[in-house]
Structure 1
Amino acid sequence: MIAERYIMREIIKPATVICAVLVFIYGSFIAARYWADAAQGDLPGSSVMILVFFRVAVAMELLLPTTVYLSTVLALSRLYRDGEITAMFASGISPVRIAWAVFGTALLAAMLTGCFSLCIRPWAWNQFYTMKAQAKANFDLTRMKGGIFYEIWHGKRVIFAEKVNGKKSRAENIFIQTKHTDSLQIIYAREARQFTDTNTGTPILKLFHGNDYEFSNSADKEIILRFEQSELALEPREFVKKDKVKAVPTISLLQSGNSQEIAELQWRLITPVSTVLLAMLAVPLSRSSPRQGKYAKIPLAIMIFALYYNISAIMKKWVAQGAIDAFPGLWWTQLGLVILLIFLWWQPELALLWRRRMA
């Protein structure tokens, strides 16, 4: 058991660093996208990091298998380079015991991956879609930029301001067009300020020195009002959150016959399985000579993972579209990993047998 614990420890050490780096890279990429949306006024700046958190939580189902896979390749490659694997074999430790040590580590990671994939993934997607829908449904003057037209309420209201001071919640030369059921309202004001009603919590837009035009759709009449000061309640519209299959709870997917939901369910189920298979694949993949560096097998490992992930994503799309049968569906990818694992595991024996036949 000492050798097994040593191998597990050697795998876990780089795993923590790799996982942290992957989370940082992915989180930074997503944050840059949402900060760009916030700069355009599409999202409130206060919600960016929360949205990033939900996206990282979703991504953990892929980052964890990647982490275990790469850390196993790194750890075993280093042990091969330093001759420690050779010493283990010389002392009677078989390759099967090394594989069992990797399997134990991968099994723990698979349990955590399954938790993220089956439980946290749908919850995080639901929270993400809800928050994003709320952000787009509500208006906030501080998110606006001068000289840009903003559509809210699914295009029923258009807002434009020549100049905006977000810190002071103040705008100059503001134009507001609102489509009602039977009329069209256009408001122009030289100045506008936003504040919140202390009693109701409703955002209020206070307008100064402007005109209010209202045109009826049913009759040929118009109303023009001039005001020195007016208030416009910016009551949040009831946001519409589109139902996304990614946010459907796993228990509901189990009872579904819809092809899209079947594809989503299979995706969630294969992630913990692939965690174990990829880690086991790293055992024969990390075989190297002492002259090779510990990073020698990393490019090949990354290529195999990228190929596996892209094939899985394509097959998920095919299952969702009904292009291929729901069963085995995405399980073909796991069968492919098993076949590749068997081939790489027996590759040295097959190569030796081939050389003997050629001799």
Structure 2
Amino acid sequence: MLIDRYLVGEILRPLALGVGLFLLIYVGFSLSKNLSMAADGLIDTATALQLVGLSSLTTLEVILPTALFFSVLLVLGRLYQNGEIAALVSAGVSPLRLMRSVATAVVLAALLAGLLSIFGRPWAYDSIYRLEAGAISRLDAGQLAAGQFVTLDVDGYMFIADARAEQEKLHRGVFLFRTHENDRGVVHKELIRADSARLPRFDPGREAVLVFQDGYSYLLGPEGGSDLSLRFREMSIVWGAAEQARQKYKSKAQPTAVLRNSDQPKDIAEYQWRLSTPLATFLLTMLAFPLARSRPRESRLRHNLVALLVYLLLFAAVSLVRTLVEQGALPPMPGLWIAYLPPLLLLLALMAPERLRQLRRRPLQEAH
């Protein structure tokens, strides 16, 4: 039908523009972060660009539903404001018919978002972690810049030095923060402040030793636990090889089939997030139809603010429930799925009046 092609075409143009714009913003932010790491000597430029590309892929599962929601909202809002929807309704085309006309395109977009989440997301994160581990294995810590914080994400280290002595190959006025887990799974945070430190070059397959002179070490126990402080003349920390970093288990990088059989709360939350992405895309886009409804020539400001609020509340609710599942505070069933019940009920409530009007018209049409 002509109206179907017209609506889909009108929605695709702002959709492509929105995806491109959101990606451009994210790529700009990611470039700034990764090129800064390259300038600090943590990674080379080629690795930085690879990380930008891979991390951009992980954002598409969120960018696509977001851009689709606002594209539908924009196009339908314009059609309502210009009176085109009123003309279609007077010709016998109901808003429900308009929803059905783009339903196929929405389902395809939801499936694409699902594929990105189920297959693209773990592949991209696995590649990112491997690149980071490889970069750490080639890092010459003695060349780290002074005067700025340097985060070594793979092992949870954060480092800063007041100055660097080139000839002595020392960093002076050193501060190091790290988190580590003991054999019982208890996580501790450690702060080290030293007058100087000798940082090695990290070679693949070998351990490296960081040597600190004249300083203090503060070991912060878990909440409610005791803290320890230590004054030292010399202190050494063994940094594991890059292979050990690669072996760290990260839910985001695990294949979906592996997560399906896991009973760990973080794995369950990640698994349900991936599976629910198509549902989130479909529900969010369908909500744009009733939220775009307005009278001809009526200001769109109030409707757009309400739609933005619904969008923010949906993502906030999903993030909150996902955190509860990760922490084991919410059982796997209903788990993350319960976060989609309110938007589903909202969609049904918003569409109910139109459905009732359609049912009332049917007996009158049959009588004529």
TM-score by length of 1: 0.71
Tell me which residue corresponds to 2:251: 245
1:308 offset after TM fit, Å? 0.9
SS in 1 for 2:169: strand
Give unmatched runs, 5+ long, in structure 2: 172-196, 205-240, 358-368
Superposition pairs of residues 138-217 of structure 1, within 5 angstroms: 138-140=138-140, 144-145=144-145, 172-175=167-170
1:303 offset after TM fit, Å? 1.7
1:15 offset after TM fit, Å? 0.5
Partners of 1:41 and 1:144 within 8 A in 2: yes
Which among 279, 283, 306 is matched to residue 277 of structure 1?
Answer: 283
Tell me which residue corresponds to 1:314: 320
For each residue in 1:8-32, what CA deviation from the matched residue of structure 2 results, as whole angstroms up to 9, or x when unmatched?
1111111011111111112222222
1:50 offset after TM fit, Å? 1.1
User: Within the alignment, does 1:298 sit opposite 2:307 as a pair?
Assistant: no
The one-letter amino acid paired with 2:98 is I
Taking a change above 3 Å as real, the CA distance of residues 151 and 141 of structure 1, as seen in their structure-2 partners, is: same
Partners of 2:72 and 2:288 within 8 A in 1: yes
Partners of 1:284 and 1:344 within 8 A in 2: yes
1:325 offset after TM fit, Å? 1.4
For each residue in 1:322-353, what CA deviation from the matched residue of structure 2 results, as whole angstroms up to 9, or x when unmatched?
111111111112211110101122357899xx
Taking a change above 3 Å as real, the CA distance of residues 332 and 146 of structure 1, as seen in their structure-2 partners, is: closer
1:173 offset after TM fit, Å? 4.4
For each residue in 1:236-268, what CA deviation from the matched residue of structure 2 results, as whole angstroms up to 9, or x when unmatched?
854522210011101111222222211111100
Taking a change above 3 Å as real, the CA distance of residues 57 and 174 of structure 1, as seen in their structure-2 partners, is: same
Which range is displaced more, 99-108 or 63-72? Answer: 99-108
Larger Rg: 1
Taking a change above 3 Å as real, the CA distance of residues 149 and 261 of structure 1, as seen in their structure-2 partners, is: closer
Which among 220, 234, 256 is matched to residue 262 of structure 2?
Answer: 256
Tell me which residue corresponds to 2:339: 333
User: Within the alignment, does 1:323 sit opposite 2:318 as a pair?
Assistant: no
Tell me which residue corresponds to 1:135: 135
Taking a change above 3 Å as real, the CA distance of residues 347 and 5 of structure 1, as seen in their structure-2 partners, is: same
Partners of 1:35 and 1:45 within 8 A in 2: yes
Distance 2:66 2:316 in 1: 14
SS in 1 for 2:297: coil
Distance 1:270 1:319 in 2: 14
Structure 1 vs Structure 2: percent identity of aligned residues? Answer: 33
Which gives a bigger RCO, structure 1 or 2 (Cα 8 Å, sep 6+)?
1
User: Within the alignment, does 1:42 sit opposite 2:42 as a pair?
Assistant: yes
Distance 1:123 1:294 in 2: 41
Partners of 1:162 and 1:172 within 8 A in 2: no
Distance 1:147 1:315 in 2: 40
1:55 offset after TM fit, Å? 1.1
SS in 1 for 2:334: coil
User: Within the alignment, does 1:99 sit opposite 2:94 as a pair?
Assistant: no
The one-letter amino acid paired with 2:85 is I
Tell me which residue corresponds to 2:62: 62
SS in 2 for 1:330: helix
For each residue in 1:42-75, what CA deviation from the matched residue of structure 2 results, as whole angstroms up to 9, or x when unmatched?
3333322211111111111111110111100001
**Alignment RMSD (CA, Å):** 3.5
For each residue in 1:259-294, what CA deviation from the matched residue of structure 2 results, as whole angstroms up to 9, or x when unmatched?
221111110011111111111110000001222345
Distance 1:267 1:273 in 2: 10
Partners of 1:161 and 1:173 within 8 A in 2: no
1:172 offset after TM fit, Å? 4.5
For each residue in 1:91-127, what CA deviation from the matched residue of structure 2 results, as whole angstroms up to 9, or x when unmatched?
1112221011232221110111011000000000100
The one-letter amino acid paired with 1:112 is L
SS in 1 for 2:107: helix
Tell me which residue corresponds to 1:229: none
Taking a change above 3 Å as real, the CA distance of residues 12 and 296 of structure 1, as seen in their structure-2 partners, is: farther
Total equivalences in the alignment:
292
Tell me which residue corresponds to 1:32: 32
Distance 1:298 1:172 in 2: 62
Distance 1:304 1:285 in 2: 9
SS in 2 for 1:87: helix
1:146 offset after TM fit, Å? 5.9
